[in-house]
Amino acid sequence: MITSAQIRAARALLNMDQRHLAEASGLSLPTIQRMEASEGQVRGNVDSLVKLVDALQKAGVELIGEGTVSNGGGRGVRLMTSANSTSKP
């Protein structure tokens, strides 16, 4: 549904800290910290994940899943697949 990297990237785009995201989503700060510390796809209570995604979308971030097309016309970022990647940091 959402990865820890997407959460961190969304917060960066919004210039939002973890505490503000916790308040906007109605989740606790430790829950946000745990979600961001996980590797890959975030696992957890479905209700918590829905609250998180809703809060990010209401704040103006469109979450783009693997292989999906963006619905919006705004700016965004997406990681390239390793086959298309020309360099790695």
Q: Look at residue 67 and tell me if it is in a domain.
A: no
- Average pLDDT value for residue range 47-68: 89
Question: Is 14 among the domain residues?
Answer: yes
Distance, in Å, from the CA atom of 68 to the CA atom of 65, rounded to the nearest integer, reads 5
* Domain membership of residue 52 as a residue range: 4-59
Averaged pLDDT for residues 66-73: 72
- In this structure, is residue 70 part of a structural domain? no
The answer to whether residue 78 is domain-embedded is no
- Separation of alpha carbons 66 and 2, rounded Å: 10
Supply the CATH number for residue 39's domain: 1.10.260.40
Number of structural domains, the chain? 1
Mean pLDDT of the chain: 84
Residue 68: inside a domain: no
Tell me what the mean pLDDT of segment 64-89 comes to: 63
For range 7-26, the mean pLDDT: 95
* 24-54 confidence digits (pLDDT tens): 999 999 999 999 999 988 988 999 999 999 9
